[in-house]
Structure 1
């Protein structure tokens, strides 16, 4: 099972469903109100995909998007973040991929994708 997670800054209502509609089949995601946790589903490569939006991540301006499935259109968090940034035109962040549950996050670097390009940065 693949598990991708990205963080989207200042998420606009409906933006994720508009983006994912072109990436996944049979999308069922009502993100018209992004003020509370939203769960959805889709299909990719014939397999079920779970989609969850968690608003208020990292200081309230970011929404965490978790996409889980046996197969996904992206191979990594960064690939997913790149696709999201192109479609949403707002800052997107993701882990560089080497963080594991229980690791310290004080010195953790994150990929930040925005109009300045892609950079590894401290979250704050």
Structure 2
């Protein structure tokens, strides 16, 4: 089932690699000036995809949020796999769709995709 938006996490020092790859994967990226730790932008695809980057969202990890279901990926996990394959860096994401009404039990369950494969872990943000 396609998620309504996609969110992944990359270490801060790998975001520039993602931004270099995104135009190839989705289309030109236009970013606003940073405001504090966050930066908003737009991927000029058809349809356009709003993008938000939040530095240090979880320690040294940066949140990359595609605020649209119109991405090449159906789920966060699909996106994490594609980004890891393209960049070779560890990517983290939630194990599945979650919202506050689901309760706290699964809120800290995450997936990491790296050179060792894929594994679930508890990430207490």
Alignment length, in residue pairs? 120
Q: Contact between 2:49 and 2:67, CA under 8 Å: does it hold in 1?
A: yes
User: Could you tell me how far apart the structure 2 residues matched to 1:11 and 1:69 are?
Assistant: 25
After superposition, the Cα gap between the structure-2 partners of 1:113 and 1:43, relative to the gap in structure 1 and judged at 3 Å, is same
Instruction: Tell me which protein shows more strand as a share of its residues.
Output: 1
TM-score (norm 1): 0.81
Q: Contact between 1:17 and 1:30, CA under 8 Å: does it hold in 2?
A: no
User: Could you tell me how far apart the structure 1 residues matched to 2:4 and 2:32 are?
Assistant: 22
User: Could you tell me how far apart the structure 2 residues matched to 1:74 and 1:36 are?
Assistant: 26
1:8-50 deviation digits (Å, cap 9, x = unpaired): 124335222112111112321379x8x8211111133x21101
Deviation (angstroms), 1:90:
1.9
Instruction: Tell me which protein shows more helix as a share of its residues.
Output: 2
Q: Name structure 2 gaps, 5 residues minimum.
A: none
Instruction: Name 1:76's counterpart in structure 2.
Output: 75
Q: Name structure 1 gaps, 5 residues minimum.
A: none
1:28 and 2:27 aligned: no
CA RMSD of aligned residues (A): 2.5
TM-score (norm 2): 0.80
1:112 and 2:112 aligned: yes
Instruction: Name 1:4's counterpart in structure 2.
Output: 6
Q: Contact between 2:6 and 2:69, CA under 8 Å: does it hold in 1?
A: no
Aligned to 1:11, the other structure's residue is in SS state helix
